[in-house]
Amino acid sequence: MPRRQPFTALCRALARPTALGRADLHIHTTHSDGLYTPNQVVELARRSGLAAVAITDHDTTAGVAEARAAAGSPVEIVAGVEITAEYRRCELHLLGYFVRPGEAALGSALTRLREHRAGRFWGMVERLRSQGVALDERALRERAGSGALGRRNLAVMLENEGQVGSVREAFTRYLGDHGPVTLPKVRLPVRDAIALVCGAGGVAAWAHPSYDCTRESLAELSGWGLGAVEAEYPAHRAGRSRELREMAREFGLAVTGGSDCHGPEPAARAIGACSVSADELEELRRRARVE
């Protein structure tokens, strides 16, 4: 490991954006199932007065470099990812912050997940056809080449082609968890996913924890290396956010939060609609040991 240089670390710290503003640490781009390009995310972050955003696409870090190129210095871009994981036979989404995008082990695991996503995507397209719902083949091929694919991609395409009235309707009719088109996902064991994030120099956080996030589960996951919990989230009521913050303190975890923005709708998930403070971002940075 290279020896740390105090002066270099100081220069890097001074070069960072002044962390006086808020940080939205959960944003998706066109590299997964978001509608905004990384460049558009950066512009919207500027307009929202954010000091930092995390690009947390599903099972890919491909949007990070593009966002950083667009951001310059006014907006810090945190390298992130949202990993499809499994805990106690249920799906759990794990956020990784300050990861090294080029880390081999993490990259290999994400590639496997994306390959499965692609197969699942085309399998659901075939199931839609069997339901009498055909989508434009050219549009499908163009979308398939742009990043990690999921149900939301199909839902947006169904809406765009007038097959349904809204993304919500697409999920209700076809793509919900028990819908006639939905196929199962490949999910990494959460313990393995946490180890991959930590091995890539990052800090792992439980994304949008529902009420299965209990003291018992947090005790187990923190023992496996979980470093944070997403306490600020658009769907959380104020009481739930307070409860999650209390449990985070109890188990020595950091807190994170963000809009989970996928595009212009719903307004409650617009970029900057949900965020954490500069101090909370710095605590995540400290845990990731970022210079």
Q: Are 274 and 256 in contact (CB under 8 A)?
A: no
Which residue from 47, 104, 99, 134 is spatially nearest to 204, judged by alpha carbons?
A: 99
224-235: average pLDDT: 96
Q: What is the rounded distance in angstroms from the CA atom of residue 142 to the CA atom of residue 139?
A: 5
Residue 222 CA: distances (Å) to CA of 186, 189, 191, 251: 23, 15, 10, 7
3-state secondary structure of 89: coil
Region of 286 on the Ramachandran plot (φ > 0 left; ψ -120 to 50 alpha; else beta): alpha
H/E run at residue 23: strand 22-27
Q: What stretch(es) of the chain map to CATH 3.20.20.140?
A: 21-103+189-288
Q: Is 154 helix (H, G, I), strand (E, B) or coil?
A: helix
For residues 130-147, give the mean pLDDT: 77
pLDDT in tens, 182-191: 998 889 999 9
At 14, list the tokens: 């001074």
Give the tens place of pLDDT for each residue, 158-196.
988 899 999 899 999 999 988 999 998 889 999 999 999
Q: What is the structure's pLDDT at 136? A: 83
Under a CB-based contact definition with an 8 Å cutoff, are residues 266 and 290 in contact? no
**Percent of the chain whose pLDDT exceeds 90:** 67
Give the pLDDT score at 74. 85
Mean pLDDT of the chain: 88
Tokens encoding 165 = 């009235």
Q: Give the residue-averaged pLDDT of 142-169.
A: 82
Please choose, from the candidates 258, 250, 202, 260, the residue with its C-alpha nearest in 3D space to the C-alpha of residue 226. 202
Mean pLDDT over residues 10-33, rounded? 71
Which pLDDT score, from 0 to 100, does residue 9 have? 44
- How far apart are the C-alpha atoms of 41 and 35, rounded to whole Å? 10
pLDDT at 11: 43
Instruction: Give the pair of three-digit tokens for residue 95.
Output: 């956020």
What topology is assigned to 21-103+189-288 in CATH? TIM Barrel (3.20.20)
Q: Residue 166: which of 179, 148, 152 has the closest Cα?
A: 152
Q: 136 versus 289: which is more confidently predicted?
A: 136
Q: Which of 256, 253, 249 is nearest to 276 (CA)?
A: 256
Instruction: Provide the terminal-to-terminal Cα distance of the chain, rounded to the nearest Å.
Output: 14
